[in-house]
Chain A
Amino acid sequence: MSSAATGERMGVEWRLAAPLGLTYLAFFAAPLVILLVMSFSVDDNLGGFTIASWVKFWGDPFYRGVVWDTLRLGLVAVAVTTLFAYPIALLFVASSPGMQRLLLFIVLLPLLTSVVIRTFAWIVILSREGVLNQALLALGLTSVPLNLLQTELGLVIALTQIEMPLMLLPLITVMGQIDPSLSDASRALGSSRWRTFRKVIVPLSLPGWIAGATLVFASATTAFISQTVIGGARLVYLPTLIWQQAMVVYNWPFAAVASVTLLVAVLAGVSAFAMLGRFARTS
Chain B
Amino acid sequence: MHNPSTLSDATSQPLTLDAVSHSYGDALAVDRVTLEVRAGELVALLGPSGCGKSTLLRIVAGFINQTEGRVIIGDRVVDPLPPNRREVGIVFQSYALFPHMTVAENIGYGLEARGESKATCRERVQEMLATVRMEGFGERKPRQLSGGQQQRVALARALAVRPRILLLDEPFAALDKNLRLDMQIEIKRLQRQFGLTAIMVTHDQDEAMSIADRIAVMSRGRIEQLGSPVAIYDEPETLFVNDFIGSSNRFEGSVETVASDLYGVRLASGAIWTVTSRRSFSKGDPVLVTIRPEQLALTSKAAPDTIPVSLKLSLPIGGELIHDVESPAGEAFKVASPRRPGASLDMSSSMHCALAAHAKPILFPRPAA
| A interface residue numbers (CB < 8 A to B) | 179, 181-182, 184-192, 195, 199-200, 203-204
Residue of B nearest to A184 (CB): B63
Given A181-B96, A200-B98, A204-B100: A188 touches B113 (CB 8 Å cut-off): no
Contact B89 A186 (CB under 8 A): no
Per the bound structure, the CA–CA distance linking A198 and B86 in Å amounts to: 21
Interface assignment of B138: CB less than 8 Å from any CB of chain A = no
A203 to B90, CA, bound (A): 22
- If A184-B63, A187-B83, A188-B84 touch, whether A179 touches B113 (CB-CB below 8 Å) is no
Once the chains bind, are B84 and A192 in contact (CB under 8 Å)? yes
Minimum CB distance partner of B115 in chain A: A190
Contacts of A200 in B (CB 8 A): 98
In the complex, what distance in Å separates the CA atom of A199 from the CA atom of B84?
A: 15
A192: nearest chain-B partner, CB-CB: B84
B63 — which chain A residues lie within 8 A by C-beta?
Answer: 184, 187
B163: nearest residue on chain A (CB-CB)? A188
CB of A184 within 8 A of CB of B113, answer no
Report A-chain residues with C-beta under 8 Å of the C-beta of B96. Answer: 179, 181-182, 184-185
- Cβ < 8 Å to A, chain B residues 89-115: 89-90, 92, 94, 96, 98-100, 109-110, 113-114
Cross-chain contact A190 with B161 (CB below 8 angstroms): yes
- CB proximity of B73 to chain A, nearest CB, Å: 13
List of A residues within 8 angstroms of B85 by Cβ: 190
B90 & A188 in contact (Cβ 8 Å cutoff): yes
B residues touching A (Cβ–Cβ < 8 Å)? 58, 61-63, 82-90, 92, 94, 96, 98-100, 109-110, 113-114, 157-158, 161
- A190/B100 in contact, CB under 8 A: no
| Chain B proximity of A265: nearest CB distance (Å) | 31
Let me know if B94 and A190 touch, CB within 8 A: no
Name the residue of chain A whose CB is nearest to the CB of B88: A188
Chain B: minimal CB distance from A209 (Å): 14
CA distance A200 to B58 in the complex (A): 20
Could you jot down 20 A-B contacts, CB within 8 Å? A179-B96, A181-B96, A184-B58, A184-B90, A184-B92, A185-B90, A185-B157, A187-B83, A188-B61, A188-B86, A189-B84, A189-B113, A189-B158, A190-B84, A190-B114, A191-B84, A191-B109, A199-B98, A199-B109, A204-B100
Whether A190 pairs with B113 at a CB distance below 8 angstroms is yes
Contact A181 B94 (CB under 8 A): yes
Shortest CB–CB separation between residue A93 and chain B, in angstroms?
15
Cβ–Cβ contact B61 & A184, under 8 A: yes
Give the residues in chain B near A190, CB-CB below 8 Å.
Answer: 84-85, 87, 110, 113-114, 161
A181 to B158 Cα, complex, angstroms: 14
CA distance A188 to B154 in the complex (A): 12
Contact B100 A195 (CB under 8 A): no
Query: Which residue from chain A places its CB closest to the CB of B61 in the assembled complex?
Result: A188
Question: Is B100 a contact partner of A188 (Cβ separation < 8 A)?
Answer: no
Contact A187 B82 (CB under 8 A): yes
Chain A residues whose CB sits within 8 angstroms of the CB of B58 once the complex forms = 184
Kindly state the separation between the CA atoms of A270 and B58 in the bound complex, as whole angstroms.
Answer: 43
Of the listed residues A182, A185, A188, A195, the one surrounded by the most CB atoms of chain B closer than 10 A to its CB is A188
Instruction: Kindly list chain A residues whose C-beta atoms are within 8 Å of the C-beta of B86.
Output: 188
Instruction: Name the contact of A185 in the complex, choosing from B82, B87, B92 (C-beta under 8 A).
Output: B92
Q: Return the chain A residue nearest B85 by Cβ.
A: A190
The residues of A that contact B161 with a CB separation of less than 8 Å are 189-190
Measured between beta carbons, the chain A residues less than 8 angstroms from B94 are 179, 181
| Chain B residues in 8 Å Cβ range of A184 | 58, 61, 63, 83, 90, 92, 96
A127 to chain B, nearest CB (A): 46
B94 to chain A, nearest CB (A): 6
CB closest residue in chain B, given A283: B100
B2 CB to nearest chain A CB (Å):
15
CA distance A110 to B83 in the complex (A): 39
Complex CA gap A190/B82 in Å reads: 9
Q: Are A187 and B84 in contact (CB under 8 A)?
A: yes
Closest CB of chain A to B366's CB: distance in Å?
44
Decide if B109 touches A204 in the complex (CB within 8 Å).
no
Whether A204 pairs with B113 at a CB distance below 8 angstroms is no
Residues of A within 8 A of B99 (CB): 204
CB pair A188–B109 under 8 Å, yes or no, is: no
